[in-house]
Amino acid sequence: MKGRTWLVLRGLIAVALAVTLVTYNDAGDLSISNESSTEVTVITGDTEAIVPATGGTVLLDYGCTPGDVTVKVASGPAVVVPGPVCPEQQIVIRGDGKVELQPASANTT
């Protein structure tokens, strides 16, 4: 009987571990694209990312921002994007300094 109890207990632990691994879902990646000719600083509230001119960055497994997103350009005023911004959206800084949110269709995890 004692051996059977351990076998059942091990089976239950294995099932619980498998269910945990299957249901785990990461927070998702937050993408930022800079189409402008100058470097920008993107502040998400708890993270600051420097994005090079005509470049981009991805905040891996970041999830949604805790609030608004601020985009700072060396020349010109900061732009505040109402948040939260989530991985389903991509932050895009245009060449004219405008900041937009676009669907991030390739950003599904």
Cis peptide bond prior to 84, omega within 30° of 0: yes
Q: Given a cut of 80, is residue 17 above it in pLDDT?
A: no
Average pLDDT, the chain: 86
**Strand (E) or helix (H) holding 40:** strand 40-43
Please give the average per-residue pLDDT across 1-20, as a whole number.
66
Please give the average per-residue pLDDT across 73-77, as a whole number.
85
The domain limits of the chain are 30-107
Q: Are 21 and 40 in contact (CB under 8 A)?
A: no
Which has the higher per-residue pLDDT, 107 or 56? 56
pLDDT tens readout for residues 82-91: 999 999 999 9
Tokens of 22: 């299957």
